[in-house]
């Protein structure tokens, strides 16, 4: 099939590359000339495992192309994906201007029937707005052309997005149009062979499904972080608790890892957006507001532990940080806990020496050159003459460090572990002061 994807950011590029791998012909449209030129040259703007080779393969096979020309994209495909950003507005609600602009552009250039597919994460009711914009633009052109608007939310995990797209758990189609449903069933047939993963529902339910899924996962994380905070006060070990409750199949082991808060482009934005959507209906989402409040507070836990260790005096201290991205296998720094930590440390007069396998360039882009930030090339270099080590992201390379070298490099044998990577008893045996999340009285002093 011939498919057009508007917006070649994270979601659009992954979806386009995977559709091309399945044999579909895909034209990607973006307003950023540099991004388009880079992709044509094989330069991928984001780090996502497996994506670079997939894009290069699609281009080499002639199945994947990139352009800045909207008219070319509209004429190319019968299926028109909208995968542009919906950044939070000043009040936290999703800003739909880019989505609606693409909808108007499609209507302006279309000369044959189109299925317009909302892949962007959008509030309930956006499908109606997209439909109205297209209808209005066609009326202004005095053009009578059939079209359908479908909600097809994405459920990609950063760091595993390619695999999620190639082997989806479910494919949500929000439509009441038989023609559009059939077109999308044909499009997704290569991903739907083992059993029927397609779930068809109305547009508004599909739009809410995306928000409900992300808000449910965010709720699980904030719940575990609240239990971790309670465990510290009660002298319990949240890791033991996690095993205890995870064995219940009604709860499961997924998304019940305590830590220093969630970040990224989805959970913070989507929780805020659903809160604002609810407020517009007059409903108070007290649970979601608590989820957001717990997460915001959790991002300051690591600084609080450092301040406690140094009796409130962090001025002149050098803090080594392992991990800057909000999660492993991505270079995404949006809403990352490391940002809250570094900014608090700088405000307290401390210096930061940091290493991340992928997010160094993004960190430099955000914060620029500053005397109290040193980005180094290895995790070992980050330790040199630092007072303590803080772990913000659970990259695999941090899981089995050389503890002897770590102890020799640090001025004090202190680890503040925001991801509970190590066994507190082992840390005690090795002579470390080990501050973790929710490990109760198992915090050992050297």
* Pairwise CA distance, residues 79 & 288, whole Å: 35
By CB neighbour count within 10 A (0-12 exposed, 13-18 middle, 19+ buried), where does 120 fall? Answer: buried
Half-sphere exposure of 262 (CA within 13 A, CB side): 31
Edge-to-edge order in the sheet of strand 388-391: 373-375, 351-355, 318-322, 388-391, 414-417, 433-435
* Pairwise CA distance, residues 401 & 443, whole Å: 19
Residue closest to 348 by CA, chosen among 314, 317, 381: 314
Q: Tokens 């969630």 map to which residue?
A: 262
Cβ atoms of residues 432 and 232 within 8 Å: no
Catalytic residue among 27, 215, 266, 392: 266
Q: What is the 8-class DSSP label of residue 441?
A: G
* Pairwise CA distance, residues 81 & 78, whole Å: 10
Tokens of 356: 């991340």
CA angle 162, 164, 166 (to 5 degrees): 65
Instruction: Output the CA–CA distances (angstroms, integers) from residue 407 to 121, 412, 415, 427, in the order listed.
Output: 46, 8, 10, 11
Residue closest to 394 by CA, chosen among 356, 352, 442, 428: 356
* Pairwise CA distance, residues 261 & 344, whole Å: 15
Residue closest to 228 by CA, chosen among 412, 2, 411, 438: 438
Q: What is the 8-class DSSP label of residue 250?
A: T
Residue closest to 330 by CA, chosen among 269, 233, 395, 254: 395
Active site residue 266: yes
What phi and psi, each to the nearest 5 degrees, are found at residue 55? -65, -45
E strand or H helix that includes residue 52: helix 51-60
Tokens of 205: 């339910």
The helix/strand/coil state of 388 is strand
Tokens of 188: 């997704």
Cβ atoms of residues 429 and 410 within 8 Å: no
Cβ atoms of residues 442 and 237 within 8 Å: yes
Q: Which residues pair with 334 in a beta bridge?
A: none
Catalytic residues: 266
């Amino acid at each position: 099939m011939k498919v057009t994807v508007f917006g070649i950011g994270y979601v659009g590029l992954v979806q386009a590359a995977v559709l091309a791998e399945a044999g579909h012909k895909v034209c990607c449209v973006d307003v950023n000339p540099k991004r388009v030129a880079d992709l044509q040259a094989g330069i991928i703007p984001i780090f996502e495992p497996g994506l670079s080779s997939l894009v290069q393969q699609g281009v080499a096979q002639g199945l994947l192309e990139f352009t800045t020309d909207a008219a070319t994209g509209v004429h190319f495909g019968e299926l028109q994906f909208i995968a542009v950003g919906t950044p939070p507005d000043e009040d936290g609600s999703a800003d739909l201007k880019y989505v609606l602009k693409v909808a108007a552009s499609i209507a302006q250039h279309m000369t044959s029937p189109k299925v317009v597919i909302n892949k962007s994460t959008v509030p309930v009711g956006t499908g109606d707005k997209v439909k109205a914009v297209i209808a209005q633009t066609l009326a202004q052109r005095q053009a009578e052309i059939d079209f359908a608007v479908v909600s097809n939310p994405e459920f990609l995990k950063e760091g595993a997005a390619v695999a999620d797209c190639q082997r989806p758990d479910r494919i949500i189609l929000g439509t009441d149009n038989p023609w559009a449903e059939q077109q999308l069933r044909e499009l997704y047939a290569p991903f739907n062979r083992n059993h029927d993963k397609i779930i068809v529902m109305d547009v508004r339910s599909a739009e809410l499904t995306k928000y409900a899924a992300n808000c449910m996962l965010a709720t699980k994380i904030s719940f575990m972080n609240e239990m971790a905070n309670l465990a510290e006060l009660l002298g319990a070990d949240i890791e033991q608790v996690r095993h205890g409750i995870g064995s219940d199949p009604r709860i499961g082991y997924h998304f019940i890892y305590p830590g220093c808060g969630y970040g990224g482009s989805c959970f913070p934005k989507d929780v805020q957006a659903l809160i604002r959507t609810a407020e517009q209906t007059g409903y108070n989402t007290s649970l979601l507001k608590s989820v957001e409040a717990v997460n915001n507070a959790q991002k300051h836990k690591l600084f609080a532990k450092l301040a406690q260790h140094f009796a409130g005096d962090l001025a002149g201290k050098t803090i080594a940080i392992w991990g800057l991205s909000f999660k492993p296998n991505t270079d995404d720094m949006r809403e990352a806990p490391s940002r809250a930590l570094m900014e608090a440390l700088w405000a307290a007069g401390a210096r930061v020496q940091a290493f991340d396998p992928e997010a160094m360039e993004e960190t430099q882009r955000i914060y620029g050159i500053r005397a109290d930030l040193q980005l180094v090339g290895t995790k070992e270099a980050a330790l040199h003459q630092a007072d303590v080590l803080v772990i913000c992201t659970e990259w695999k390379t941090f899981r089995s460090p050389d503890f002897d070298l770590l102890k020799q490099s640090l001025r004090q044998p202190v680890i503040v572990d925001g991801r509970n990577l190590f066994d507190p008893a082992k840390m005690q045996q090795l002579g470390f002061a080990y501050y973790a999340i929710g490990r109760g009285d198992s915090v050992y002093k050297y």
